[in-house]
Structure 1
Amino acid sequence: MRIGYKYIHSVVIMGILCFITEIASTVEFTNIKCTSADVKFVNYEVCRLKSVNRTYKYVSVKSRLFKLPITNATINISVFKRLNGYKPFLYNVSVDACRFLQVQKSNSVVKYLFNLFLTHSNVKNPSCPFNAYVTVDKLTTNFLNNQFTNVLPVPEGDYLFVFKWFSENIYHSSVKVYSTIS
């Protein structure tokens, strides 16, 4: 049986097109907003999205805590997707931050979201109290691209991640990270 040149050529072209058109999501930061409801409790010294060039952006946040030691902290993490305004999407969870840091297996959703910035943060202690400074330094989208494509595929769109911090059931601050996944 003889296979024609045109047939082999077509199969090779189709294989190359399939390889090239493999879908890979990319994350891009679009904005960050840090707000403190009680400046006597927490102040954001740095809250910035730095654009080095068109493709390389990073987020840096440095918050200073004033009323130490903090032994009772709660974090609420919400994810929103932009559909005629930002609407709740998938997750809205609250956890005791001190307990979560001790037993990270207690909530797999929070662990996934926490691991998005863990490598660039100083919050690595497995317990409370928290330090005077809580930082996330130069978090780029390279790590996030892997998390949003291979670990947990996320549909394309504009997203808002909201991190609200409470101590003794009193709201103190929030960080809002706006991003686009394409």
Structure 2
Amino acid sequence: MGHKKSYLILIVTHSRFEFTNADCTTVDRKFGECDYIYLKSVNRTYKYLSAKFKLYQLPVKTLGVNLVLMKRFNGYKPFLYNITINACKFFANTKSNPVVKFFYESVMTFTNMNHSCPYNHDIILDKLPVDFINHRLTKVLPFPEGDYLFQAHWIRSGSCFAVVKVYGTLS
């Protein structure tokens, strides 16, 4: 008698996030300016984002930020989040906004913006690894595949002083 062979085929798909571009635009040069923002690929597995914003009017006692997540559908369109917060109040109580907390936790160990106001120093994001962001966007809070733009409009006294844009692809 012949035996039938059975096969079990598992198809496992893994999403992967990659930075594709980063840009910082200074709006108010009297308040400060973007010193640098860049993506660096050290090797196939270690890629990171770094940025520095020089502040000229210290100390910074009030700070706001408008965070916008966009996804590309015939151009970039708002996707899920468009939130404006008082950053000083948020940094004093990060539990006050769970959505902002998720994004803040994605960068807090790589930035010196990890305390409440006042700020008496330049703002630095140092070597934010793409693998860390990949983990957060695929495992912690899975996002659908696509091209994304994360925009942060930094605000002081009701006026925008800088716009940071970080582009990425989740495939």
Matches for 1:69-84 after TM superposition, within 5 Å: 69-84=59-74
1:124 Cα deviation from its structure 2 partner = 1.3
CA deviation digits over 1:77-135, x for unaligned, max 9? 0000011000100000011000000111110000001111111111111x201132111
- Correspondence 1:140 to 2:104: no
Aligned partner letter, 1:107 = N
Residue of structure 2 in register with 1:153 after alignment: 142
Q: Deviations over 1:36-81 (max 9, x none)?
A: 1011211111211112235532110011111111111101100000
Letter in 2 for 1:143: F
For the residue of structure 1 that corresponds to 2:5, the secondary structure is helix
In structure 2, the residue matched to 1:123 is 113
Number of aligned positions between the proteins: 170
2:5 maps to which residue?
6
Gaps of at least 5 residues in structure 2 are none
Larger radius of gyration: 1
CA contact (8 A) 1:120 1:137 kept: yes
**CA distance in structure 1 between the aligned counterparts of 2:80 and 2:142, rounded to whole angstroms:** 13
* Deviations 1:2-42, CA, capped at 9 Å, x for gaps: xx4613xx2xxx1xx42xx3232211000000011011211
Q: Please tell me the residue identity of whatever aligns with 2:43.
A: N
Q: Partners of 1:131 and 1:46 in 2: how far apart?
A: 19
Equivalent position to 1:59, from 39, 49, 52: 49
1:113 counterpart (103, 113, 122): 103
Which structure 1 residue ranges, 5 or more long, are not aligned?
Answer: none
Equivalent position amino acid for 1:149 in 2: T
- Paired residues of 2:46 and 2:131 also in contact (CA < 8 A): no
Contact 1:66 1:132 in 2 (8 A): no
Task: Please say if residues 48 and 128 of structure 2, whose CA atoms lie closer than 8 Å, have aligned partners that are also in contact.
Answer: yes
TM-score by length of 2: 0.93
Identify the structure with the greater helix proportion.
1
Q: CA RMSD in A?
A: 1.5
1:26 to 9, 16, 20: 16
Q: Which of structure 1's runs of 4+ aligned residues deviate more than 3 A?
A: 53-56
